[in-house]
């Protein structure tokens, strides 16, 4: 397994109308799915297929197999809303279609060009009806244009995205410094079982698989999150909280944990450093061990919360490697112009795909403990200042030398959940086996 | 007294009493009322960290477990003097209850139905309810002060 990124994607959300035909179709697309084997020569197009538990049920997966999947996957994301902090404006009742009802399958078409993507999607959609599938919705996602019109890996708030991915044993990729977990004298890759079912995980054991093994082995779980970004509210908050433009850049960097270029505060505490940000051998090479109080990068900063590295004191620091996620994010919606005088009300945000072997231990833990609480790091009730479920009453603390610390008050939500689901990503052999068992 | 286990300034007491047949539902409502709304009367006693009542054994018995500051005698006397109606409202549903206004009899009733604690741990054995509330109040004031000078 290996993370990859394309500038253009379509997220097709499908429902099953005919179980037997759909099974045959899923079995048949196995040969078209992108695997590590064909990632070595970067393809112009990638194709991935995943099913929700409702989807597995809809294609006629036998009951003993359905009930062997983990409870949180069976329930689906909407049923886990309270645990995930998807309440108020983020509650499932307010989610966009089709997430407000049900989604059986996710097909991701990724491409280097819009034309390639669109052609592949058109072919896919025309193929569905005869194969027992109905397209419920397609989300159009692509990188945003930079100042010169060229596409750049920058999300709607204006920050470089996609720098950190956990290094995985056996992925065939050289591990960049900072990509795995800190180890004596350097970094080591995570065990494959953290991301692939049927492999030893960080405990050294192979956890129980969904049955039959032909279905579960080499599979994984994909968490899809459709996150609306309140870009204008974010800019407005910075204006109100900061003394001037330079201070606004500093406050925003403290909240994010990286400067706009992607340079980490852990290595560039005082000002942005685009040269550092552009160097993949340096831009992720830090542990926070020399910054336990967070005077360079606040302990509550967004990127530090999502990957605390060695920066947690006490018992919570011992299990950081058990809560890692492979992340792929792409923006949807149009860029809000820098000189916008008010919120234009447009839909914009990010489609996040989070891959893990254990949804409850990895994604849900990160969402509940690292994003929507502060107690794990001695931060009381503070939440992630960027993507936490803030409601206008929260705080964000910026430690300083010399003291006193600076504290931002009355944090609103800068992100609202607009949909999502838990999907099972079958291994290629498992996908193929679906056709064999089609009645 | 072996039915009371103490660590630092905090003690544990566990007691089990028999519910008068047919009274479980009324008792359940009473307990929900007394512990709702942030504990009301219980919180005003100022010495109780945690108190828990469980109706079990097919609605026939009441389990009572509490963690409190100070000695058990002080705790119960305080409780009896300041909240006799509350005690009556709970254990009045239990067999053999003597009423809260005769303290020695109340003490003998509760301690007589108490069971020994076999394992007991407290993360903050030397901090009383008063200490903790005061520390939280100071923390809030200190944060406000730092906001003002920052």
Interchain contact B118–A (C-beta under 8 A): no
Q: Which residues contact A302 (CB under 8 A, 6 or more apart)?
A: A255, A256, A257, A384, A385, A386, A387
Interchain contact B143–A (C-beta under 8 A): yes
Same-domain status, A134 and A259: no
**Domain assignment of residue A427, yes or no:** yes
| Chain A residues within 8 A of B141 when measuring between CB atoms | none
Same-domain status, A259 and A210: no
Q: Is the pLDDT of residue B2 over 80?
A: no
Alpha carbons A176 and B79: distance in angstroms, whole number:
64
Same-domain status, A426 and A396: no
What pLDDT is attached to residue A439?
A: 44
Taking only the tens place, the pLDDT of each residue in B65-122 is 999 998 888 888 888 888 899 999 999 999 999 999 999 999 999 999 999 999 999 9
Q: Is the pLDDT of residue A32 over 80?
A: yes
**Domain assignment of residue A331, yes or no:** no
Same-domain status, A47 and A72: yes
Q: Which of A34-48, A207-221, B28-42 has the lowest mean pLDDT?
A: A34-48
B109, with CB counted inside 10 A (0-12, 13-18, 19+), is: buried
What pLDDT is attached to residue A40?
A: 58
Distance in Å from the first CA to the final CA of chain B: 53
Same-domain status, A293 and A197: no
Same-domain status, A387 and A426: no
What's the mean pLDDT when you consider all of chain A? Answer: 93
**Domain assignment of residue A342, yes or no:** no
Contact (CB<8Å) B150/A409? no
What pLDDT is attached to residue A70?
A: 98
Instruction: Write out the residue range of the structural domain in which residue A51 sits.
Output: 8-226+420-436
| Chain B residues within 8 A of A407 when measuring between CB atoms | 143, 146-147, 150
What pLDDT is attached to residue A30?
A: 85
Contact (CB<8Å) B146/A409? no
Same-domain status, A92 and A163: yes
What's the mean pLDDT when you consider all of chain B? Answer: 93
CA nearest to A398, candidates A230, A281, A242, A267: A242
| Chain A residues within 8 A of B149 when measuring between CB atoms | 404
**Domain assignment of residue A364, yes or no:** no
Taking only the tens place, the pLDDT of each residue in A276-331 is 999 999 999 999 999 999 999 999 999 999 999 999 988 888 899 999 999 999 99
Q: Is the pLDDT of residue A146 over 90?
A: no
Which domains, ranges and CATH numbers included, belong to chain B?
4-149 (3.30.70.1090)
Same-domain status, A178 and A249: no
Provide the percentage of residues in chain A whose pLDDT is more than 90. 83
Mean pLDDT of A367-380: 95
**Domain assignment of residue A89, yes or no:** yes
Mean pLDDT of A197-225: 96
Burial readout A208-222 (b: 16 or more C-beta within 10 A, e: otherwise): ebbeeebbbbbbbbb
Contact (CB<8Å) A406/B150? yes
| Chain A residues within 8 A of B135 when measuring between CB atoms | none
Model-level ipTM above the cut of 0.90: no
Mean pLDDT of B23-41: 90
Residue A327 three-state SS: strand
Same-domain status, A93 and A160: yes
- CB A260, CB A249: distance < 8 Å: yes
Using a CB–CB cut-off of 8 Å, the residues of A that contact B are: 403-407, 409
Can you read off the two tokens belonging to residue B56? 């079990």
Place of tokens 């800068």: A414
Long-range CB contacts (< 8 A, 24+ apart) of B18-22?
B18/B60, B18/B61, B18/B62, B18/B94, B18/B95, B18/B96, B19/B55, B19/B59, B19/B60, B19/B61, B19/B62, B19/B93, B19/B94, B19/B95, B20/B93, B20/B94, B20/B95, B21/B60
**Domain assignment of residue A353, yes or no:** no
Same-domain status, A179 and A267: no
Mean pLDDT of A400-415: 95
**Domain assignment of residue A361, yes or no:** no
Same-domain status, A305 and A255: yes
Maximum average pLDDT range among A34-43, A139-148, A220-229: A220-229
**Domain assignment of residue A210, yes or no:** yes
Same-domain status, A307 and A184: no
Domain count, chain A: 2
Q: Is the pLDDT of residue A391 over 80?
A: yes
- For residue A409, give the chain B residue with the closest CA: B147
Provide the percentage of residues in chain B whose pLDDT is more than 70. 99
């Amino acid at each position: 397994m290996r993370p990859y990124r394309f500038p253009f994607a379509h997220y097709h959300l499908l429902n099953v109308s005919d179980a037997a035909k759909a099974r045959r179709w899923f079995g048949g697309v196995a040969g078209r799915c992108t695997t590590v084997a064909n990632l070595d020569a970067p393809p112009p197009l990638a194709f991935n297929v995943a099913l929700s538990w409702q989807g597995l049920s809809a294609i006629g997966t036998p009951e003993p197999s359905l009930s062997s999947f983990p409870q949180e996957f069976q329930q689906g994301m909407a049923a886990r809303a309270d645990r995930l902090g998807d309440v108020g404006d983020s509650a499932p009742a307010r989610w966009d279609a089709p997430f407000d009802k049900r989604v059986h399958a996710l097909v991701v078409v990724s491409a280097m060009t819009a034309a390639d993507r669109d052609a592949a999607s058109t072919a896919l959609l025309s193929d569905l009806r005869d194969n027992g599938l109905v397209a419920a919705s397609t989300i159009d996602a692509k990188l945003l244009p930079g100042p010169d019109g060229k596409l750049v890996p920058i999300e709607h708030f204006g920050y470089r995205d996609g720098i950190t991915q956990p290094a995985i044993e056996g992925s065939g990729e050289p591990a960049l410094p900072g990509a795995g977990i800190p180890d004596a004298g350097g970094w080591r890759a995570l065990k494959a079982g953290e991301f692939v079912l049927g492999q030893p995980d960080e405990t050294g054991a192979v956890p129980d698989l969904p049955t039959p093994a032909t279905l579960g082995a080499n599979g994984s779980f994909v968490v899809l999150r459709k996150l609306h970004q309140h870009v204008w509210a974010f800019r407005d908050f910075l204006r109100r909280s900061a003394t001037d433009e330079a201070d606004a850049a500093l406050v925003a960097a403290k909240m994010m944990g990286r400067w706009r270029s992607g340079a980490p505060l852990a290595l560039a505490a005082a000002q942005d450093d685009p040269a550092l940000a552009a160097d993949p051998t340096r831009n992720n090479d830090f542990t926070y061990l020399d910054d336990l109080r967070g005077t360079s990068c606040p302990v509550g900063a967004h990127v530090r919360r999502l990957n605390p590295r060695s920066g947690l004191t006490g018992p919570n620091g011992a299990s950081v490697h058990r809560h890692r996620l492979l992340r792929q994010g792409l923006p949807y919606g149009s860029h809000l112009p820098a000189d916008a005088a008010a919120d234009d009300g447009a839909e914009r945000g990010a489609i996040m795909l989070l891959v893990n072997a254990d949804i409850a231990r990895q994604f849900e833990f990160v969402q509940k403990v690292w994003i929507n609480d502060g107690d794990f790091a001695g931060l009381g009730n503070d939440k992630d200042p960027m993507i936490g479920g803030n409601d206008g009453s929260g705080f964000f603390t910026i430690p300083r030398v010399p003291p006193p610390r600076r504290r931002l008050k009355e944090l609103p939500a800068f992100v609202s959940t607009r949909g999502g689901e838990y999907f099972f990503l079958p291994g290629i052999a498992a996908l193929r086996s679906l056709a064999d068992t089609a009645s | 007294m072996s039915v009371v286990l103490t660590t630092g300034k905090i003690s544990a007491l566990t007691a089990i009493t028999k519910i008068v047949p047919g009274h479980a539902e009324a008792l359940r409502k009473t307990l929900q009322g007394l512990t709702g709304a942030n504990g009301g009367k219980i919180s005003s006693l100022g010495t109780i960290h945690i108190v828990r009542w469980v109706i079990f054994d097919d609605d026939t018995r009441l389990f009572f477990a509490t963690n409190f500051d100070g000695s058990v005698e002080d705790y119960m006397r305080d409780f009896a003097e300041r909240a006799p109606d509350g005690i009556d409202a709970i254990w009045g549903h239990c067999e053999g209850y003597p009423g809260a206004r005769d303290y020695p009899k109340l003490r003998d009733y509760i301690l007589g139905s108490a069971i020994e604690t076999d394992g007991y741990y407290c993360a903050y054995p030397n901090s009383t309810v008063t200490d903790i509330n005061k520390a939280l109040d100071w923390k809030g004031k200190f944060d406000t002060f730092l906001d003002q000078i920052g």
